[in-house]
Structure 1
Amino acid sequence: MLNTNTASRKVILATWLGWLFDGMDSSLYPLVANQALGELIGGNNPNFGQIAAQITAMFLLGWALGGFLFGYLGDKIGRVKSLSLSILTYAMFTGLSGLSHTWAELSVFRFLSGLGMGGEWALGVALLAESVKPEKRIMSTAFLATGFSLGYCVAVIANFLISPFGWRLVFLFGIIPAVLVFFIRRNIKEPDLWVSIKEKINNPFEIFKRKYSYNLWAAFFLNVTCTIGSWTCILFWMPLWIERTLGGNLNDKTIVIFISMLTHALGSYSAGPLLSIYKRKSILFISYFMTFLTAFAMYSFFHSYSIGVLLIASMLGFFFGIIPASFAIYFPELFPTKIRTTAKGFCYSTGRIVTVFGVLYSGFLVQKFDGNIGHAAAVMSIMFLIGAIISLFVPETNKTVPL
């Protein structure tokens, strides 16, 4: 697959599994939300949409704060130690989510699991980018990015097999990633690029120095549009849209989400060869714009379940998959080693704080549209159009040399 040495292969495997389990655990709530909240607050509760959105907002807030915390720790004490802590955190609290007795308890557990997931994103990319051969970095990172969507596929299968026995068992399944920590601690060493930096970061506010500011805010605004769009159009509302608006059943939801996440993985891996040939800005613009078109069309023109939903969701998954994979390749190029995980943690995390308000607003829209999730998601798809416009003004890197 990738012409790298044994140590690099272990890093690729560990970080890919980290992203896979991250995708799996972060996706369990959207898949069981209808069943879980049906028990905790009642499926016909008029505030269903707002409460469902509030729980997701708490998760994203935790994800944001975790990115700050673990991103800083990654630059301070090392990528490997911080990555291990982040995985343990999200695995443990995902499992504990299955013990919730109220929607408020579920919110707290989702917040705490979000802390760990926020760290894993920034740390995994930095660890991989600094560990593999420079000429293999782009394709290795594209492969890494497939982990999240394939993790969502694992969550879909787990939900299909386990949810008939209760949504709580689905969350307990989410504790499995904790096993990965033992592999990481035994087999992965800190990258030489980080170890060789004699002066480690002492002040996290160093990322706001003028020489880093344009790159920092470019990455920030790209991430904001992607994160709001993804959580209000795809990752959170799509499963509920299929069930509550289109009238689909568990089989329909499983097939659509599974296939769309497979095409998402294909899009993620495609980012590697695309970014090896074409400019970063061009690929970002096209993928953002096509994601907007397919999301807006899907939510605007489909009002009952049909094969057309599966086809357009597959297209949406492919185009959307290119965006986060491009970030994983592009963002490390924007910052020097000393501040890399802190800066990326800020971009991911602050973007998710803004996304909290986007998700809450989408919940308000669902209520305003009398529970029609499709209308709300169509409005929120405009975030991808805004992202396409922003991508025209970001700095170009096209780096294939060592970071």
Structure 2
Amino acid sequence: MSRCPPFHSHEVTVTTTPTSSPATAEVEVTGSFAWYRSMSPKGRRAFKGAFGGYALDSYDFLVLPMAVVAITAYFGLTTAQTGLLTTVTLLASAVGGVIAGVLIDRIGRVKTLMVTVGTYALFTVLCGFATSYPMLLCFRTLQGIGFGGEWAAGAILVAEYAKPRYRGRVLAWVQSSWAVGWALAVIVGTVLTGSLDSNIVWRVLFWTGAAPALLLVYVRRNVEDAPKATEHLAHKSARPLLLSVFRGGLARRTLFATLLSTGVMGGYYTFATWLPAYLKTERGLTVVGTGGYLFVLITGAFCGYITAGHLIDRLGRKKSFALFALLSAGLLMTYVNIPAGSNSLLLYLGFPLGFCASAIFSGFGSYLAELYPHAVRGTGQSFTYNVGRALGAVFPTAVGFSSAGVGGALIYGAIGYALALVALIGLPETRGSELT
């Protein structure tokens, strides 16, 4: 469970109009963390629940890479079988995301958050009890269903509490919890791998995935849906179907938002999947995969998430997406065209590439929520994000079939970011929008 950042050295400004009385004066909160202090107590509790949920979502997903060597040896797996464990998780996450989207609009944000967190926690733990590869594959698939739905439930919950002027920053901080969970997985995995026998360490890593159960207790006792969402759910006749996001003038938004997600996911998955292999096999860098290299990537990701939140609120959603798509594509192409003998430069460029490739995700939480009305917000946000994730997973697969070598095939990542730029043409700007 996350702790909220320390808040100090702030100031509060009270602004009034000539007709205002002290009882009706508007209090404006300023300072570095005004985005957090401007939220109501219920909003802050929702933020903590969503932050913790996504951090633990990240942790439960990333314990697999930390355990993969031991799992491969234990079951005697081929490279294809090992890779399938990640592939089925991502594909199942698309299915889980679509299901969760409908649940968000039918039973509420908080209840869906609890269902998804409970699902990914349960099946992560069960992975540790697997006695065969098919059983492990089955549990990992079911874990992916919960993994895919949690993000949308938490993001929408917080978006509906956040002030319009700060929504980009609030959701960027929620997105940054992915880096927190990633760092925690690396730390726990490193400690356990150095302490336990390889035949048991992978099981223990999965068993630590039970931690989200503590978060469920907090959410159950302290978090509730925003008032407008609660009012909507009170109308029993308001039970949207999945196809609702393709009706009433929403079809264009849904199609282009899905294309945006596909492009961003495709670019990121290509970079995350194949860049380490490129650095190792074609550039001969042995530092890849070490703690120092991972530290640079995780730090860059966290800084990217937070910085992007400020730009999203200042520049707007579309300009921020376009900026980070261009920077990510440019850095990716620069990476593969650096002359031999300049390998140290590759490591230096790892930070800005990780920064930009992660920063672009900060806009999704606020932007997708603002594209849809209350009635179908969960369905629309979760559908576009998770279907995009499934389609984006095709990009790194295409690299594997390319004859241009890993370095040359990384152009598929740039193609993904180009698709994202095209998608923005068909989408509106929503900065400052009230969630109606």
Same fold (TM over 0.5): yes
The answer to whether the aligner puts 1:177 opposite 2:212 as a matched pair is yes
SS in 2 for 1:131: coil
Alignment partner for residue 36 of structure 1, among 63, 66, 71? 71
* 1:209–1:291 Cα change, 3 Å: same
The answer to whether the aligner puts 1:357 opposite 2:387 as a matched pair is no
The answer to whether the aligner puts 1:297 opposite 2:334 as a matched pair is yes
Amino acid corresponding to residue 99 of structure 1 in structure 2: F
Q: Measure how far apart 1:167 and its partner are.
A: 3.0
TM-score w.r.t. the length of structure 1 is: 0.87
The answer to whether the aligner puts 1:200 opposite 2:238 as a matched pair is yes
Q: Is the 8 A contact 2:165 2:432 kept in 1?
A: no
Alignment partner for residue 169 of structure 2, among 127, 139, 144? 139
Alignment partner for residue 415 of structure 2, among 364, 377, 382? 382
Partner of 2:299: 262
* 1:237–1:178 Cα change, 3 Å: farther
The answer to whether the aligner puts 1:335 opposite 2:365 as a matched pair is no
Q: Which moved more, 1:270-279 or 1:300-309?
A: 300-309
Q: Measure how far apart 1:27 and its partner are.
A: 2.1
Identify, as 1 or 2, the structure richer in helix: 1
Q: Measure how far apart 1:310 and its partner are.
A: 3.4
Q: Measure how far apart 1:101 and its partner are.
A: 4.5
The answer to whether the aligner puts 1:216 opposite 2:254 as a matched pair is yes
Q: Percent identity?
A: 25
* 1:90–1:289 Cα change, 3 Å: same
Q: Is the 8 A contact 2:166 2:313 kept in 1?
A: no
Tell me the alpha carbon deviations over residues 160-205 of structure 1, each in whole angstroms, 9 at most, x when there is no partner: 2222333333222222122211110010112211111134224221
* 1:310–1:59 Cα change, 3 Å: same
SS in 1 for 2:225: coil
* 1:263–1:130 Cα change, 3 Å: same
Q: Measure how far apart 1:327 and its partner are.
A: 1.1
**In 2, Cα distance between equivalents of 1:55 and 1:81:** 28
Tell me the alpha carbon deviations over residues 14-41 of structure 1, each in whole angstroms, 9 at most, x when there is no partner: 1011111122222222344344324433
**In 1, Cα distance between equivalents of 2:334 and 2:307:** 23
The answer to whether the aligner puts 1:113 opposite 2:137 as a matched pair is no
Q: Is the 8 A contact 2:374 2:435 kept in 1?
A: no
**In 1, Cα distance between equivalents of 2:282 and 2:347:** 15
Partner of 2:128: 98
Q: Which moved more, 1:11-20 or 1:204-213?
A: 204-213
Amino acid corresponding to residue 334 of structure 2 in structure 1: A
Aligned-residue RMSD, C-alpha: 2.8
The answer to whether the aligner puts 1:53 opposite 2:53 as a matched pair is no
**In 2, Cα distance between equivalents of 1:102 and 1:243:** 31
Partner of 1:151: 181
* 1:244–1:104 Cα change, 3 Å: farther
Q: Is the 8 A contact 1:30 1:239 kept in 2?
A: no
Structure 2: which 5+ residue stretches go unaligned?
1-32
* 1:179–1:401 Cα change, 3 Å: same
Q: Is the 8 A contact 1:34 1:240 kept in 2?
A: no
The answer to whether the aligner puts 1:399 opposite 2:399 as a matched pair is no
Amino acid corresponding to residue 349 of structure 1 in structure 2: N
After TM superposition, list the pairs within 5 Å mapping 1:280-295 onto structure 2. 280-295=317-332
Amino acid corresponding to residue 62 of structure 1 in structure 2: A
The answer to whether the aligner puts 1:225 opposite 2:263 as a matched pair is yes
Return the index of the structure with the highest Cα Rg: 2
Partner of 1:22: 57
* 1:94–1:180 Cα change, 3 Å: same
Partner of 2:44: 9
Q: Is the 8 A contact 2:95 2:148 kept in 1?
A: yes
* 1:258–1:170 Cα change, 3 Å: farther
Tell me the alpha carbon deviations over residues 93-130 of structure 1, each in whole angstroms, 9 at most, x when there is no partner: 12222334444433322211110111111111110011
Q: Is the 8 A contact 1:300 1:375 kept in 2?
A: no
Amino acid corresponding to residue 328 of structure 1 in structure 2: G
Q: Is the 8 A contact 1:58 1:356 kept in 2?
A: no
Partner of 2:310: 273
**In 2, Cα distance between equivalents of 1:373 and 1:162:** 32
Amino acid corresponding to residue 160 of structure 1 in structure 2: T
SS in 2 for 1:394: coil
**In 1, Cα distance between equivalents of 2:55 and 2:374:** 25
TM-score w.r.t. the length of structure 2 is: 0.81
Tell me the alpha carbon deviations over residues 212-256 of structure 1, each in whole angstroms, 9 at most, x when there is no partner: 11111121001011122222321x445666667766668843322
Q: Is the 8 A contact 1:285 1:392 kept in 2?
A: no
* 1:377–1:393 Cα change, 3 Å: same
* 1:289–1:118 Cα change, 3 Å: same
Amino acid corresponding to residue 182 of structure 1 in structure 2: V
Structure 1: which 5+ residue stretches go unaligned?
none
SS in 1 for 2:290: helix
